[in-house]
Amino acid sequence: MHAGYTALARCRVEPSKRRAHSESYGMRGIYMHDPTALVAVLAPELFTWLAGEVRVVTEGVARGHTIMDVQKKRWHKPTEWAGRPKVQVAIGARSAEVCELCLDRMTA
């Protein structure tokens, strides 16, 4: 399937998603997680990165939330964070350039 066709199909589907984002987040636009993840691989220089240990909460009121220890506190005894590998997490992006790259790739 041609990427331009995919972009056009998304435009037809997205009004309900845009409405949901507007109602839920008070924003005009939508979060585009998957395309943004691809841009992070193709152009990591468009993002601000932070290294730390990451965990996903699996129970309770915070279930599904991702939390990260950036080691600003020194623990005096071993914790559940000890020995976890550090990963790079994007904490900022040059959004206009990310959007431009997404659109370029979807309409090529």
Is position 65 annotated as part of the catalytic site?
A: no
Nearest to 46 by CA among 7, 6, 99: 99
Q: What CA–CA distances, in Å, run from 35 to 32, 63, 74, 88, 100?
A: 6, 25, 36, 18, 11
Q: Locate 26 and state its tokens.
A: 């008070």
Quickly count: other Cβ atoms within 10 Å of residue 3's Cβ: 12
Spot the catalytic one: 21, 33, 65, 76: 33
Cα 46 to the center of its chain, rounded Å: 13
Helix (H, G, I), strand (E, B) or coil at 48: strand
Which residues are part of the catalytic machinery?
A: 33
